[in-house]
């Protein structure tokens, strides 16, 4: 863990990475949704963060070769992808004011571990370990399921953010065209636990006493019950500390039960033991049961960074960038295998350098691109497969357009 | 009148459809196709503007939906009825005229959409069910009816979102009777955001009773899109130089509340006002703009040209006859010689009464004219004073009539949000509380102040009634 944090790449390494490994073509295909450059690529904003923290916005490129050239020239520590505008972002100064408006943009979500700081016990702040990845994994399951089943979108790309979070990019046509209002609506639909920025942690109140749980949450609850048991009670064990216990008490609306918990709590009480008390006490009455379910949601339901998703013109770090602090590459993640994902095992840029160096000294065929010989290969294949799905879909809808 | 491209695209669409005038509710998706005289163009737009401005001030005053509805319905009866085909044609034309006037800026568009949306909602609530269904049939809203088997498949989910009605079996039968529709979720973002509907595969399952909210959303969305299109093609409109001034006038009117027709109609009725009475009325019945002028006149024993013009015309319409007017001004300008007065001022006074020069009967300036920036240094105090000065002036002028410092924040808030005429109306209501005026009554018939003379005349009328009541 400590080691990885130190694995920061030097500018020379970054340059080699962009030059020889970064999958510009796959990224192009993914954004452009076809092989010939369209507005989806040429009118797209790219923003660069240079090594000296200078931030350059409103870049746009005609082809992915242009993009690569510019990236190699600037050698940025990372770069971000923005929306497709009504004109080429780099031409914005020649147009009349107000003419440049965002038209399309993948629907994006950002889940960040910092929003979980008040409930995780293993790490805090920027740190992440295999144990707290459980929160992210639970979030991925819920969001992935909701987006696919409820909203009917198919082209979801989950990307590890390089340190403590995960991004989701949705490339379905309808998702690309959503207005800011619609994006706000979808965030509202998915948000249950409001992010706690301050100490004044707001209570999660999902249930209204008279109404049943909405269907969306009912399905989520089925899954989260298990997560709660494994991740919270078994692994994180947050209620055993005084602080975590107080946090729990704040969620308990029934003063009698809160007092009983205080009484029965001994020095070594584990979360599991305390939860058993709650389970017994809440059996039977509907209001208490609702409160119990609220607690489960509070500890396990995805906490979205809403601002990222709400606006089309929000920039988000491109996949396969290198996180400047950890040196890890932002690789795509298969949502089905998200439980087994270990952030510590993600290839770092220095590690990739070693791999291409050893591969090139051995006598293997050199006709293959460099990334083929590295640990990044399965991830790039994953993106290519994802892109293929998008393109097939695009072709199909084009076909129907022609027949019309 | 409307650009050719629009017309063409609509033509292909309406083949075989009924004319929009044949139904009471109109989505305004097709422009009017008949000839309109210039006068009609302006008059029906003014009538509609009156209603929209009233809706705006209702919003600014936080009126409840019910209050607003009653009031808007009342106003619609007076200015924009929908009973005959001719009425509906007027309604149709007026909507399109105002579109032209209000598409020019983001702010105007937003306000127009809001006000039109409320007008549509009010009418939707008021008309018969048949009219509503007629509208729904005529719009291709792309609603898929959810078949009974599909409804049963999702029964649990749908039922859990059904509103709680007691007892349970009533809720059950009501649920069974309700028809569900499927729409793309992107069409009902507000329902999605609040998790009010069942969602599957991107389709929102909306119960029949939520239909109206979708229609309102649709109405506003379509209007927003149409306004942007109109704005883009507006530069091609200036081929007709007769329309642009009218449109300018209309959009200014919206800013000032409404361009009022309140003019000399009351002239002569109150002919009994004399020069001596002006002081009394100024203290009791004048809106702040006129009080300010009056005070300045008393303080300086003089008023500059535009001040004289504004105040003089106001007094004329209030019912001060020409002889009295000359007496009033002569007395007020008591530091100048008779000779100077006769030479330099008398002519102007007579001129304003239409007795000199081109002998035009000049109307008094309306709020709109006073509000819009011009050569006059005597504008609307609500608009031109700083908040601090305004508060001091309000207390100084009106504290004897029941305005307390507790009322100030409300008035100032209205001013800050740009609703100057509403602020003035509110002051009227506060200072006439003793005459039985309640918050929201406005200057009669829920109307806001749109003309200083309207304010003053209503005030005089109210106070007179008061004295009579006390007498009996």
Among B105, B175, B189, the residue to mutate for chain A (most A Cβ within 10 A): B189
The residues in A 183-202 lying below 8 A from B, measured between CB atoms, are 184-189
3-state secondary structure of A169: strand
The residues in B 169-188 lying below 8 A from A, measured between CB atoms, are 184-186
Check CB contact under 8 Å for A188 and B192: yes
Of B160, B198, B202, the CB nearest to A212: B160
> Are A221 and A293 contacting, i.e. CB atoms less than 8 angstroms apart?
yes
| pLDDT computed for residue B16 by the predictor | 38
Same domain, A181 and A198: no
Same domain, A288 and A311: no
Q: How far apart are CA A134 and CA A342, in angstroms?
A: 10
In this predicted model, which residue has the larger pLDDT, A209 or A245?
A245
3-state secondary structure of A159: strand
Same domain, A286 and A382: no
Check CB contact under 8 Å for B199 and A211: no
Report phi then psi at A143, rounded to 5: -65, -45
Q: How far apart are CA B362 and CA B223, in angstroms?
A: 39
Same domain, A316 and A294: no
Does residue A260 belong to any structural domain of this protein? yes
> Are B95 and B26 contacting, i.e. CB atoms less than 8 angstroms apart?
yes
Does residue A286 belong to any structural domain of this protein? yes
| Residues of B in Cβ contact (< 8 Å) with A304 | none
Half-sphere exposure of A364 (CA within 13 A, CB side): 14
Among A148, A149, A151, the residue to mutate for chain B (most B Cβ within 10 A): A151
Which is it for the CA torsion A341, A344, A349, A352, positive or negative?
negative
* Catalytic residue chosen out of the listed positions A80, A104, A106, A110: A110
Share of chain B above pLDDT 90, in %: 3
Same domain, A248 and A383: no
Same domain, A225 and A241: yes
CA-nearest residue to B184 within chain A is A151
pLDDT band at A198 (very low <50, low <70, confident <90, very high): very low
Q: How far apart are CA A249 and CA A239, in angstroms?
A: 9
Report phi then psi at A348, rounded to 5: -100, 160
Check CB contact under 8 Å for A174 and B186: yes
Q: How far apart are CA B282 and CA B269, in angstroms?
A: 19
| Residues of A in Cβ contact (< 8 Å) with B200 | 149-150, 152
- Which of B35, B43, B144 lies closest to B94 in space, CA to CA? B43
| pLDDT computed for residue A146 by the predictor | 93
Check CB contact under 8 Å for A188 and B202: no
Tell me which of A258, A273, A300 is where a domain ends: A300
Tell me which of A300, A317, A339 is where a domain ends: A300
| pLDDT computed for residue A172 by the predictor | 94
CATH number of the domain bearing residue A45? 3.90.920.10
| Residues of A in Cβ contact (< 8 Å) with B189 | 181-182, 184-185
Same domain, A99 and A245: no
pLDDT band at A156 (very low <50, low <70, confident <90, very high): very high
| Residues of A in Cβ contact (< 8 Å) with B202 | 150-153, 174
* Residue A45 bears catalytic tag: yes
* Residue A22 vs residues A53, A322, A352, A356: alpha-carbon distances, Å: 21, 10, 11, 13
A150 touches chain B (CB under 8 A): yes
Share of chain B above pLDDT 70, in %: 85
**Domain span including residue A356:** 2-110+155-189+304-403
Q: How far apart are CA A157 and CA A188, in angstroms?
A: 21
Mean pLDDT over A143-172 rounds to: 94
What average pLDDT is seen over chain A? Answer: 86
| pLDDT computed for residue B5 by the predictor | 42
| Sheet with A165-170: strands ordered across | A107-112, A165-170, A156-160, A332-333
pLDDT band at A106 (very low <50, low <70, confident <90, very high): very high
For residue B154 the two structure tokens come to 């999702």
B203 touches chain A (CB under 8 A): yes
> Are B143 and B183 contacting, i.e. CB atoms less than 8 angstroms apart?
yes
pLDDT greater than 50 at residue B349? yes
Mean pLDDT over B332-349 rounds to: 82
Residue with tokens 């229609």, as numbered in its chain: B215
| pLDDT computed for residue A33 by the predictor | 93
pLDDT band at B8 (very low <50, low <70, confident <90, very high): very low
Of B156, B193, B202, the CB nearest to A188: B193
Which is it for the CA torsion B105, B107, B111, B113, positive or negative?
positive
For residue A206 the two structure tokens come to 């999902």
Does residue A142 belong to any structural domain of this protein? no
For residue A231 the two structure tokens come to 């991740």
Check CB contact under 8 Å for B195 and A210: no
A213 touches chain B (CB under 8 A): yes
Q: How far apart are CA B63 and CA B122, in angstroms?
A: 14
Residue A148 distance to chain B (closest CA, Å):
7
Q: How far apart are CA A136 and CA B456, in angstroms?
A: 69
| Residues of A in Cβ contact (< 8 Å) with B182 | none
> Are B113 and B56 contacting, i.e. CB atoms less than 8 angstroms apart?
no
| pLDDT computed for residue B376 by the predictor | 52
> Are A180 and A312 contacting, i.e. CB atoms less than 8 angstroms apart?
yes
B96 touches chain A (CB under 8 A): no
Tell me which of A241, A273, A300 is where a domain ends: A300
For residue A335 the two structure tokens come to 């949502």
Same domain, A252 and A377: no
Mean pLDDT over B441-461 rounds to: 82
* Catalytic residue chosen out of the listed positions A45, A104, A293, A370: A45
| pLDDT computed for residue A62 by the predictor | 95
pLDDT greater than 50 at residue B136? yes
Among A98, A103, A107, A150, the residue to mutate for chain B (most B Cβ within 10 A): A150
Task: Judge residue B336's burial from the number of C-beta atoms within 10 Å of its C-beta, 0-12 exposed, 13-18 middle, 19 or more buried.
Answer: middle
* Catalytic residue chosen out of the listed positions A112, A293, A355, A370: A112
Q: How far apart are CA A268 and CA A265, in angstroms?
A: 8
* Residue A110 bears catalytic tag: yes
Does residue A145 belong to any structural domain of this protein? no
Domains and CATH numbers, chain B: 4-138+218-255 (1.20.930.80), 144-212 (no CATH), 264-471 (no CATH)
Q: How far apart are CA B367 and CA B364, in angstroms?
A: 10
Q: Where are the beta strands (DSSP E) in B386-446?
A: none
> Are B412 and B391 contacting, i.e. CB atoms less than 8 angstroms apart?
yes
| Residues of A in Cβ contact (< 8 Å) with B199 | 150-151, 189, 216
Does residue A128 belong to any structural domain of this protein? no
pLDDT greater than 50 at residue A229? yes
Same domain, A334 and A261: no
Same domain, A200 and A293: yes
Of B161, B192, B201, the CB nearest to A186: B192
Does residue A133 belong to any structural domain of this protein? no
Does residue A131 belong to any structural domain of this protein? no
For residue A368 the two structure tokens come to 């293959």
Same domain, A256 and A358: no
- pLDDT tens per residue across span B81-129: 888 888 888 899 999 988 988 888 887 888 889 899 999 988 888 888 7
pLDDT band at A174 (very low <50, low <70, confident <90, very high): very high
Does residue A63 belong to any structural domain of this protein? yes
Q: How far apart are CA B69 and CA B55, in angstroms?
A: 9
Residue A189 distance to chain B (closest CA, Å):
5
* Residue A53 bears catalytic tag: no
- Please calculate the CA angle B467-B468-B472 and round it to the nearest 5 degrees: 120
Same domain, A175 and A205: no
* Residue A310 vs residues A16, A171, A176, B188, B371: alpha-carbon distances, Å: 36, 16, 13, 16, 39
| pLDDT computed for residue A199 by the predictor | 38
B190 touches chain A (CB under 8 A): yes
| Residues of B in Cβ contact (< 8 Å) with A211 | 160, 164
Is residue A112 within a helix (H) or strand (E), and if so which, with residue range? strand A107-112
Number of domains in chain A: 2
């Amino acid at each position: 863990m400590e080691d990885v944090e130190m694995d920061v790449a030097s500018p020379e390494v970054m340059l080699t990475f962009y030059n020889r490994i970064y999958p510009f073509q796959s990224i192009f295909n993914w954004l452009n949704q076809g092989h010939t450059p369209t507005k989806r690529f040429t009118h797209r904003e790219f923003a660069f963060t240079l090594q000296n923290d200078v931030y350059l916005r409103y870049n746009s490129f005609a082809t992915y070769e242009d993009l690569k050239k510019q990236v190699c020239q600037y050698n940025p520590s990372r770069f971000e992808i923005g929306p497709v505008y009504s004109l080429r972002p780099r031409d914005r100064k020649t147009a009349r004011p107000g003419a440049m408006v965002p038209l399309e943009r993948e629907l994006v979500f950002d889940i960040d571990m910092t929003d979980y700081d008040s409930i995780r016990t293993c790490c805090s702040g920027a740190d992440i370990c295999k144990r707290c990845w459980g929160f992210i994994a639970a979030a991925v399951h819920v969001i992935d399921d909701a987006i696919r089943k409820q909203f009917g979108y198919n082209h979801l790309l989950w990307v590890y953010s390089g340190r403590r979070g995960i991004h989701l990019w949705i490339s379905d046509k309808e998702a690309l065209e959503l207005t800011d209002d619609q994006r706000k609506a979808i965030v509202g639909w998915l948000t249950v636990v409001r992010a706690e920025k301050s100490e004044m942690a707001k209570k999660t109140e999902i249930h209204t006493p008279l109404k049943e749980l909405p269907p969306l949450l009912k399905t989520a609850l089925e899954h989260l019950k298990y997560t709660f048991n494994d991740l919270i009670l078994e692994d994180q064990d947050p209620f055993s500390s005084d602080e975590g216990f107080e946090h729990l008490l704040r969620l308990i609306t029934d003063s009698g039960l809160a007092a009983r918990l205080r009484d029965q709590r001994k020095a070594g009480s584990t979360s599991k033991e305390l939860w058993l008390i709650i389970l017994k006490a809440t059996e039977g009455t509907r209001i208490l049961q609702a409160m119990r379910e609220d607690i489960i949601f509070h500890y396990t339901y995805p906490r979205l960074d809403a601002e990222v998703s709400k606006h089309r013109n929000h920039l988000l770090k491109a996949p396969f960038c290198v996180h400047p602090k950890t040196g890890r590459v932002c690789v795509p993640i298969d949502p089905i295998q998200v439980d087994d994902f270990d952030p510590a095992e993600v290839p770092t840029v220095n590690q990739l350098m070693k791999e291409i160096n050893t591969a090139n000294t051995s006598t293997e065929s050199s006709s293959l691109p460099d990334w083929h010989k590295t640990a990044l290969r399965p991830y790039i294949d994953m993106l290519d497969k994802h892109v293929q799905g998008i393109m097939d879909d695009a072709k199909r809808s084009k076909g129907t357009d022609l027949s019309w | 009148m409307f650009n050719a491209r629009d017309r063409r695209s609509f033509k292909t669409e309406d083949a075989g459809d009924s004319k929009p005038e044949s139904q009471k509710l109109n989505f305004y998706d097709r422009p009017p196709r008949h000839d309109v005289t210039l006068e009609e163009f302006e008059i029906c737009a003014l009538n509609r503007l009156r209603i929209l401005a009233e809706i705006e001030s209702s919003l600014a005053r936080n009126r409840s939906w019910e209050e607003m509805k009653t009031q808007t319905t009342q106003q619609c009866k007076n200015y924009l009825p929908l009973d005959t085909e001719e009425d509906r044609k007027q309604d149709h034309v007026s909507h399109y005229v105002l579109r032209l006037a209000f598409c020019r800026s983001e702010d105007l568009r937003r306000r127009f959409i809001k006000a039109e949306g409320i007008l549509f909602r009010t009418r939707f609530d008021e008309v018969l069910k048949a009219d509503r269904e007629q509208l729904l049939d005529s719009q291709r809203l792309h609603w898929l009816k959810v078949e009974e088997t599909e409804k049963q498949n999702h029964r649990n989910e749908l039922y859990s979102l059904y509103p709680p009605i007691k007892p349970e079996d009533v809720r059950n039968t009501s649920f069974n009777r309700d028809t569900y529709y499927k729409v793309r979720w992107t069409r009902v973002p507000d329902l999605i955001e609040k998790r009010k509907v069942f969602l599957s595969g991107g389709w929102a399952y909306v119960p029949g009773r939520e239909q109206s909210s979708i229609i309102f959303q649709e109405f506003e969305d379509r209007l927003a899109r149409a306004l942007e299109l109109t704005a883009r093609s507006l530069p091609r409109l200036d081929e007709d130089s007769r329309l642009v001034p009218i449109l300018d006038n209309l959009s200014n009117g919206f800013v000032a509340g409404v361009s009022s027709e309140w003019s000399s109609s009351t002239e002569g009725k109150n002919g009994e006002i004399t020069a001596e009475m002006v002081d009394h009325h100024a203290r009791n019945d004048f809106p702040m703009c006129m009080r300010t002028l009056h005070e300045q006149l008393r303080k300086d024993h003089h008023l500059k040209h535009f001040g004289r013009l504004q105040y003089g015309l106001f007094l004329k319409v209030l019912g001060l006859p020409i002889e009295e007017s000359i007496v009033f001004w002569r007395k007020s300008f008591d530091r100048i010689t008779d000779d100077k007065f006769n030479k330099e001022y008398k002519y102007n006074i007579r001129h304003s009464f239409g007795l000199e020069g081109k002998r035009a009967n000049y109307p008094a300036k309306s709020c709109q004219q006073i509000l819009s920036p011009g050569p006059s240094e005597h504008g609307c105090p609500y608009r031109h004073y700083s908040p601090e000065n305004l508060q001091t002036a309000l207390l100084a002028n009106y504290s004897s009539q029941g305005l307390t410092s507790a009322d100030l924040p409300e008035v100032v808030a209205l001013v800050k949000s740009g609703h100057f005429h509403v602020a003035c109306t509110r002051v009227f209501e506060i200072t006439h509380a003793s005459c039985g005026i309640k918050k929201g009554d406005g200057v009669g018939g829920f109307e806001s102040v749109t003309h200083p003379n309207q304010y003053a005349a209503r005030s005089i009328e109210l106070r007179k009634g008061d004295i009579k009541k006390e007498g009996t």
